[in-house]
Amino acid sequence: MPGLIPAWDALWAIPHIHAWLLAGWLLYLLWLGGWIVLQKREPVATLSWLISLAALPYVGFAVYYFLGPQRIVRHRRRRLRHHARLPADCAGGDDSAELRTLAHATTGLAPSTARTVQLLVDGGSKYPALLEAIARARDHVHLEYYIYQPDRTGTVLRDALTARARDGVKVRLLLDAVGSKQAARRFFAPLLEAGGELAWFHPVRPWAPWKRPWMNLRTHRKLVVIDGRVGFLGGINITDEEDERLREDAYRDLHLRVEGDIVRAMQDVFVEDWAYATERDDFVGAVVRAMPPPMPGPVRAQLLTSGPDSPWEPIHRMYVSAIHAATRRVWLTTPYFVPGEAAMMALTSAALGGLDVRLLVPRVSDSRLVTWCMRSYFDDLLAAGVKVYEYGPRMLHSKALLVDDGLAIIGSANFDHRSFRLNFESSLLFEDAGVAAALAQQIAREFAAAPRVRADRPRPLWTARLPEALARLLSPLL
């Protein structure tokens, strides 16, 4: 350390060093600021990035390079190509309906139908149903997950997949490289030896620093397609943390088991993601040949997808449009509530218009920062007449929207900027009284177990108001 002091003094002794550093800082701001501004994103988010990067000279470039917003053009091109190969069925739905037309236009996935829809509550319902369906597979099992833990739940599923692979069933497992980082490739050695395939979505490649990494763009989907006939989709990952049979503090969550033509759209999305992650599409022909004939059903359904490969924020648009279309009630449950201006306006307008608007969030999220940020919106919601409930002590992880008595959206997307813009998400939209009634009964039970937030609740300055206000400033970056 003593040797560094003379060197530091020598640096500041260089003629005009202050001017050179100032000039370098200004050039850095102009270059990086221009890069950010030219992306033409939301002004609040753009200004937040500019201020943050100005306060972190040079270091801010690394932060933005690794975590800043990015768009994926190549994925969009692959999406168009694979939609042409695996067309979704359009029968059984009124494609002129505004919401369905909007979903079709923004996702490229046509309206469809389902023969059966089963609402699965918590991992104790989802995992047995998934294992039973896998045991019945005859041609292929396709799985895509954000989190896959090498724990008891993950081991049981791996062994079930290995058994089917040994019997000649084609098993393809796509995992997010960040969310499933604890599940090393060696954990899946039995599956790979049996002929199964494993791929990683957006792996981190430190040996290729010249390629901009996509560390902040993750697949958050929890999607399974079996023989093109049975599909699973929702919010439950593969982990002991979401199985109440193993842990008393397991997450509270929702998932879906569906059959019918809607599974064709789910297959389409998996094929896109697998081809993108592996840079191979030689398997598409075999998948198309293995698809069952059309199986239209009585339940109107539509797959909603979003991600940084689309500029339209489809799931965000669908949430906002569905809320605006409500005439009686809007019930929303989400683990992360960080709304943008449009979503906040839709919720408060519905409440001010006299609708029954309710929001269910966890009492304590798995992120203290997000909890503070969520609570920073409560005063405005309560003033507008929104009923806010905090569920606990278990972590609420359900992601669902119920509108009136006939529209339900269930899936992986949270009600926040990350799900709407950065993550690859998938949800299912149903226009069906039966599905809506089942969801309403489940959410009503959770409302009954969750204390309602009061406008006159105690809010100390240092432990509530100030942390919430500061967290709110970071909401465009969360």
Which one of 268, 397, 416, 417 is the catalytic residue? 397
**How far is Cα 64 from Cα 86, in angstroms, rounded to an integer?**
37
Cα separations (Å) of 78 from 106, 164, 383? 16, 29, 46
Say whether 399 is catalytic. yes
Residue 268 Cα distances to 128, 221, 371, angstroms: 25, 14, 36
Active-site residue among 104, 220, 255, 417?
220
| Tokens read off for 24 | 């370098």
Distance of CA 218 to the CA centre of its chain: 8
CA 287 – CA 273 distance, rounded (Å): 14
- Which is catalytic among the residues 75, 83, 104, 222? 222
User: Is 167 labeled as catalytic in the residue annotation?
Assistant: no
How far is residue 116's CA from residue 113's CA, in Å, rounded to a whole number?
Answer: 9
The question of whether 227 is a catalytic residue gets the answer yes
Nearest in space to 385 (alpha carbons), one of 439, 311, 330: 330
Report the alpha-carbon distance of residue 381 to residue 323 in Å, rounded: 15
| Active-site choice (404, 416, 417, 432) | 404
Please answer whether residues 185 and 198 qualify as being in contact, where contact means their C-beta atoms are separated by less than 8 angstroms: yes
Best CA proximity match to 220, nearest among 422, 65, 398: 422
Distance, in Å, from the CA atom of 201 to the CA atom of 214, rounded to the nearest integer, reads 10
Q: Say whether 16 is catalytic.
A: no
Q: Does the annotation mark 397 as catalytic? A: yes
**Which of these, 220, 243, 246, lies nearest to 233 by C-alpha position?**
220
In the annotation, is 126 catalytic?
no
Out of 227, 273, 416, 432, pick the active-site residue.
227
How far, in Å, are 153, 236, 238, 357, 445 from residue 123 at the CA level? Answer: 10, 7, 9, 28, 17
Single out the catalytic residue among 176, 399, 417, 432. 399
Residue 210, CB-side half-sphere exposure with 13 Å CA sphere: 0
Residues taking part in catalysis: 220, 222, 227, 397, 399, 404
